[in-house]
Structure 1
Amino acid sequence: MCTGACSKFVAIALYPLAAVSIICNIILFFPDFSTDYASEDGEKTPRITQEVKYMGGLVGGGIMVLVPAIHIHLTSARNCCANRCGMFLSIGFAALGVVGAIYSMSVAALGLSNGPTCFWTSDKNLPAQWGAPFANSSGSYLSNSDMWAWCQLPKNVVQFNLGLFSTLLVCSILQLILCLVQMVNGLFGCLCGTCGGKE
């Protein structure tokens, strides 16, 4: 496969991954699919999970991957024509994608480890309060579904966060792999041309 065609494959694969990352991050701002918690959120009254506000999916897995995807796609527009300069630049853009993917992956992993912000209590005899009940559990709550009942509001917020942060994590891992592939592909394209045998 010529390096131009490989670039096109990488770019096309990055588009939906970036879109999914952006959508997941936006949805995370609305637990229980309600706008109430976002509108009530504040420094003294946290209602939204802290890691959501880092916008790993929107900035890292979204914009920082989408920009390289567009450039990589444009680089491959002529497919097997010589475009060594474009392939060289694609290495830098792919590196930006790597940074974005790592940022998104780190935020998603942190979000899974710390768990959601919710109105919770671990004992029905104690008053509930807003906070992050699993922040010091090092992710142990993930394997103990009984603990998920501690969160009373938003409803099913643990499953909500778990599903979306897991999706972000998978997307960012795939983005990282694709951007690393493009860095290697860009190097070969820069040295040998986008399709050495046809130049």
Structure 2
Amino acid sequence: MCSGKCAKCLGIALIPLAILCILANILLFFPGGKVASENGHISDEVWYFGGIVGSGVVMIFPALVFLGMKNNDCCGCCGNESCGKRFANFSSIIFAAVGFVGAGYSFIISAVAINKGPKCGVNVTDTSILLGWNITYQYPFENGNYLGDHTLWDECTEPKDIIPWNLTLFCLLMIMGGVQAVLCAIQAINGLMGTIFGDCKCCGCCGGGDGPI
């Protein structure tokens, strides 16, 4: 099986994942599905752009390289026939490493955000006002304790549904980042095999061409 054909399949899978990660990160800027009154009301981890940069923009580059491998690995790379299929495979390993780092960054940011919990409005005692309490935005949870005890969710008074909103989107980012990392790791192995052993005979990749290896 040609490494270029495998790489193309991986690239096709990475593109929609990157787009979904970007959308998920953008939605996190709207806590509970609403526009935040202040930027400080948005969880810090959202501003690290794990989905937009790590699993999004950074992932586009290896995905495009993988998509072009089916042609590049047999007829040269970037339109240069003298480049050679083995160099094309080797370059894909470098881009796979870049993609792996980007996906890993998104995965780690998401895991930290899930464990830390969202920043939300919490009622705190304030003797200076008539009602005796005030809403302050902070992180009310510790070490993921809210994950197994839903009664703690009542501590977040606003915005409404902020906990399931953040939890769902960060879980999606973590899962998709993990899948992207696995796909990049597969291409690194695939590219290494293509670099060492070669993978097809000529420009007619997987088509049984007549040229030499």
Q: TM-score scaled to structure 2, two decimals? A: 0.83
Alpha-carbon distance in 1 for matches of 2:88, 2:73: 11
Could you tell which deviates more after superposition, 81-90 or 98-107? 81-90
Alpha-carbon distance in 2 for matches of 1:145, 1:65: 35
Alpha-carbon distance in 2 for matches of 1:138, 1:125: 29
Q: How many residues are treated as equivalent by the alignment?
A: 191
Aligned to 2:32: 32
Equivalent pair of 1:3/1:185 in contact (CA under 8 Å): yes
Alpha-carbon distance in 2 for matches of 1:80, 1:194: 9
Structure with the higher fraction of residues in helix conformation: 1
Equivalent pair of 2:100/2:184 in contact (CA under 8 Å): yes
Aligned to 1:110: 112
Aligned to 1:4: 4
Alpha-carbon distance in 2 for matches of 1:88, 1:79: 10
Aligned counterpart for 1:47 among listed residues 33, 41, 50: 41
Q: Deviations over 1:64-118 (max 9, x none)?
A: 1111101111122467667222111000000000100110000000110111111
Aligned to 2:100: 98
Q: Which amino acid aligns with 2:112?
A: L
Equivalent pair of 2:107/2:178 in contact (CA under 8 Å): yes
Deviation, structure 1 residue 49:
0.5
Alpha-carbon distance in 1 for matches of 2:114, 2:74: 43
Equivalent pair of 1:112/1:139 in contact (CA under 8 Å): yes
Q: TM-score scaled to structure 1, two decimals? A: 0.88
Aligned counterpart for 2:59 among listed residues 60, 65, 76: 65
Equivalent pair of 1:49/1:116 in contact (CA under 8 Å): yes
Aligned to 2:179: 174
Deviation, structure 1 residue 33:
2.1
**Please, what is the CA RMSD of the aligned residues?**
2.2
Equivalent pair of 1:5/1:80 in contact (CA under 8 Å): no
Alpha-carbon distance in 1 for matches of 2:101, 2:170: 18
1:195 alignment partner, SS class: coil
Equivalent pair of 1:14/1:175 in contact (CA under 8 Å): yes
Aligned to 2:145: 140
Alpha-carbon distance in 1 for matches of 2:124, 2:195: 59
Equivalent pair of 2:73/2:88 in contact (CA under 8 Å): no
Alpha-carbon distance in 2 for matches of 1:194, 1:91: 15
Q: Which amino acid aligns with 1:91?
A: I
Structure label with greater radius of gyration: 2
Aligned counterpart for 2:86 among listed residues 65, 84, 87: 84
Equivalent pair of 1:118/1:153 in contact (CA under 8 Å): yes
Alpha-carbon distance in 2 for matches of 1:179, 1:104: 14
Runs of 5+ consecutive residues of structure 2 not aligned to the other structure: 76-83, 126-130
Does residue 195 of structure 2 align to residue 186 of structure 1?
no
Instruction: State percent identity of aligned pairs.
Output: 39
Alpha-carbon distance in 1 for matches of 2:99, 2:72: 22
